Amino acid sequence: MIRARAALDRLERDGRVLLLFERQVVELSVLGLRAWELASEPVAEDALTAALVAEFGSPDAGSADAAVAGLVSELTSLGLLKPAPRTGSGEDEATR
């Protein structure tokens, strides 16, 4: 399960989207933005793949699973996605 890191602000202009985090501004593609939005609540990668394929269609080459895994990896390396806490872990939202 993965979850999006909350942005401090969002700017949309002329088809571009910028997200502001603590010390980082990130421009996302339409696909990257939608993946980030869908992960606003914890989501499994296979459910994210299904939602993105339903909205954007399958990639022209390769598998949707591999394409979304690459997207998730890139968004995670940028710090925009993170593993979702396991339910019942006792971890409080304020301590994360």
Domain-wise residue ranges, the chain: 2-83
Residue type, 72: V
- Cα-based angle 29, 71, 55 (whole degrees, multiple of 5): 65
Q: Domain 2-83 - what CATH class?
A: mainly alpha
Global pTM value? 0.83
Q: What are phi and psi for residue 25, nearest 5 degrees?
A: -115, 130
Closest CA to 26 of 2, 8, 47: 8
pLDDT of residue 88: 58
Percentage of the chain beyond pLDDT 70 is 90
Measured CA distances, 40 to 31, 52, 59, 62 (Å): 15, 14, 24, 27
How large is the greatest C-alpha to C-alpha distance in the chain, in angstroms? 44
pLDDT tier at 93, thresholds 50, 70, 90: very low
Percentage of the chain beyond pLDDT 90 is 76
